[in-house]
Structure 1
Amino acid sequence: MQYKSQLTRYKSLGLKLTVGLTLTVLTLVGSSQTVLAHHPTGGKTPSTVFEALLSGFGHPIIGLDHLAFVIASGLLATQLRRGWIIPVGFVLTAMLGTGLHLQAVTLPMAEMWIAISVIVAGGLIASESQCQSSDSSFSESFGLTLAVAIAAAVAGLFHGYAYGESIIGAEMGPIAAYLTGFTFIQLVIAAATYTLVRVTLFSSQYRRAILRALGLAISSFGLVVLGTGLFS
């Protein structure tokens, strides 16, 4: 009885956490056009290697939709067998997406697909945490990991395409620094997320509830971004 009482209390806490995170995201999205503009240098094309490196570091953080997906990739990596290929695949194809933008290749409705990728990633986190409670073999399937990694790689093309907007017109040196910057920071964020979850939640009886709450919060954020883009 005591265990059930604690579990019920924690589920309530998880719901409150989800609502709180969602409201915070709504406030950020509604009040900051700068955040959604995704330009760490204020729209100015970086002219030096140092500026480009800083811009590369900043873009995946200032762009909250990008940040949400990178965090989601780290969370998914903790849930699936050999899940590390998910963030790695995403980061590699993000560089390719930037290259496509620089070559004037058009990816239609990139921002919409970015928002959808965040929604789907959050949904996968939440649903995977549910499936783990009923079928432990679900998360052990490498085929599932591979499918998610492929989807993340496709998403990486669109995220990288959006990153490319900030570096159009730059010389090769700054472009290389920009690619290095956003690749490095995304790997750091995903690795930090993975490590934090593994260290703090690996043996916790509330692990699934927390991951489910985080997944729902990420999906909610994606819905806000999608709605903002469609109706603004």
Structure 2
Amino acid sequence: MLSTRTKSALILIAASALSMSASAHTGVEAHSHSGFISGFLHPLFGLDHLAAMVAVGLWSALAARKAGPELAWGPVGFATMLLVGAVMGLQGVAVPAVEPMIAASLLVTGLLVVSRLRVPGLVAALGVGVFAVFHGVAHGLELAGEASAWPTLVGMLAATVLLHCAGLAAGWALRQRTVWISRTAGMAVAVMGGALLMQVA
């Protein structure tokens, strides 16, 4: 029998893969960004970002040898490079293939959850960080020139950290559970990413 905590974790994971018909950059649009609250809500309602951020935390917990700093490499790398990408976008730096790379981030992180691939911490941070740059650039370009850009980005970053923590908690709860549960969740995210990738490629 699954505990309440595990059930909640599974619900959160399932929510991250509810839609495969939206575009690769979904959620609150640029014109509705108006500060911290709007920024905080954006990753929670943008299913592409929600799924990627939860999956990073989930993979980090599932692949870790034990509790400790090792858990933080992936989430810290993603959050840091998300901010770097957002600043690039605010400065008008355009990078190619933003939408395909956002979709690819779901495919890759989903497969990482399925495989529970264990890599050195710095490699994990850099690996997910590359994808995070594209998420950040998409946000930054939306917000460029807006007076509320920085409060909005702070809200997005706060939500990102929260979603990483939710993924970590879910992954830790599932470590000792039947492996198919986490693999099913990871495959759902990967399939979502593959479907989005085909739409934007």
TM range (shorter): 0.7 to 0.9
CA distance in 2, matches of 1:165, 1:215: 29
1:169 to 101, 122, 145: 145
> What's the CA shift for 1:146?
2.5
Alignment match, 1:217: 188
Which of 151, 167, 187 aligns to 1:193? It is 167
Q: Per the alignment, do residues 45 and 218 of structure 1 end up closer, same or farther by CA in structure 2, a change over 3 Å counting?
A: closer
Matches within 5 A, 1:1-232: 24-26=18-20, 29=21, 38=26, 40=28, 42-44=29-31, 46=33, 51-81=34-64, 82-128=70-116, 139=118, 143=120, 145-171=121-147, 174-198=148-172, 200-204=173-177, 206=178, 208-230=179-201
Q: Percent identity at matched positions?
A: 27
The gaps in structure 2 that reach 5 residues or longer are 1-13, 65-69
Provide the alpha-carbon RMSD of the alignment. 2.4
Alpha-carbon distance in structure 2 between the residues aligned to 1:177 and 1:21: 27
Q: Which runs of 5+ in 1 are unaligned?
A: 1-19, 132-138
**Is residue 56–residue 178 contact of structure 1 (8 Å, CA) maintained in 2?**
yes
User: How many residue pairs were aligned?
Assistant: 183
* Cα offsets for 1:125-164 (capped at 9, x unmatched): 1112xx7xxxxxxx4x6x2x33222111111110100111
The alpha-carbon deviation at position 37 of structure 1 amounts to 5.5
Q: Indicate the structure with greater helix content.
A: 1
2:3 matched to which residue of 1?
Answer: none
TM-score, normalised with respect to structure 1: 0.71
